[in-house]
Amino acid sequence: MAFDNGEHSLAQRYLIQSLRLAQAAGSPELGAHVLAGLADQATLTGNPDQGVQLANCVAGASAYE
């Protein structure tokens, strides 16, 4: 919702908090989903290099599942 409203900093904070919670819950699947969201956000806000790096993290994490 924050991303759709153009509140990109707030959206990023929510995603980072979600990533921490996924780690605390021991859920690599949820963590990968959140990283994909961060990659999407980075790309759509003009940071495609960061988006690719985050997407590569998702790909690397899924290789170990």
Three-state SS for the chain is CCCCCCCHHHHHHHHHHHHHHHHHCCCHHHHHHHHHHHHHHHHHCCCHHHHHHHHHHHHHHHHCC
**Least confident stretch, 33-37, 43-47, 55-59:** 55-59
**21-43 pLDDT tens trace:** 999 999 999 999 999 999 999 99
Res 12: pLDDT: 93
Task: Give the integer Cα–Cα distance in Å for 6 and 20.
Answer: 23
Q: What is the mean pLDDT of the chain?
A: 89
Amino acid 59: pLDDT: 81
